[in-house]
A = this chain, B = another copy of it.
Amino acid sequence: MPAKDTGTEQLIKATAKRIFFAEGKLHATTQDIANAAGVNRAALHYYFRTRDQLVAVVFNESMRELSERLGTVMASDQSFKEKVRELIAVFMKEMTAYPYQETFLVTEINTSGMDLVKGINEVPVNAFLDEVETEMNTGNIEKMPPRHFLMNLFSLLSYPVIMSPIYRQFFKMSQEDFAQLLAEREQLIYQHIFK
């Protein structure tokens, strides 16, 4: 139970997130994390006691932030079009910074059971789904079961980023060229929805 927060605790946490979420190294050891953060491994235990607890903290924060990101945009005081535009912008930015965040979450859930995911903030997803349905009835977007609209949107945003190491191989593209390809998608997805 440290009292002063000199930033080391945050540094360790941020580094763990970088390794797990950005570098996709899901098997990273406490030594890996300590090295990357430039701190002694004992500091990691000083602040988090065990590896499992560090992972739990990272998991919970990540899950909460994900819910909040989603909730904030969905419940924002904007037109539907603006909401979708912001959803795309916010999540594309997040995916680019942290491609493997969802992969980490799902892997942890698969390892430790669905209990992990309990006690997560409510997300106003149903209200948003109603809004989606309204837009479909108005003819502004293609008709389909609203939950599929939402899954489609996130699929288009996320999957190519996550699978970039494989796609780059299939397409024989450099890191830079593929990043360029991904950057095109923000426009593309928006236009595809509101064509």
Seen from chain A, the residues whose Cβ lies within 8 Å of a Cβ on chain B are 23-27, 70, 100, 102-103, 105-107, 109-111, 114, 117, 120, 123, 125, 142, 144-145, 147-148, 151-152, 154-156, 158-160, 162-163, 165-167, 169-171, 181, 184-185, 188, 192, 195
Contact = CB atoms under 8 A, between A and B. Distances in A.
Contacts of A158: 155, 159
B24 A148 contact: no
Contacts of A195: 142
Given A23-B110, A103-B106, A142-B195, 17 more contacts: A25-B107, A25-B111, A26-B27, A27-B111, A102-B166, A114-B169, A117-B165, A117-B169, A120-B169, A125-B171, A145-B181, A148-B181, A148-B184, A148-B185, A151-B159, A155-B155, A159-B159
A145 B192 CA distance: 12
Contacts of A152: 156
A177 to B, nearest CB: 11
A31 to B, nearest CB: 15
Each complex incorporates copies of this chain amounting to: 2
30 contacts: A24-B110, A25-B110, A25-B111, A26-B26, A26-B110, A26-B111, A27-B27, A27-B111, A100-B106, A102-B163, A102-B166, A103-B103, A105-B166, A106-B162, A106-B166, A109-B165, A114-B165, A117-B169, A142-B192, A144-B192, A145-B181, A145-B184, A148-B181, A148-B185, A151-B159, A151-B160, A154-B163, A155-B156, A156-B156, A159-B159
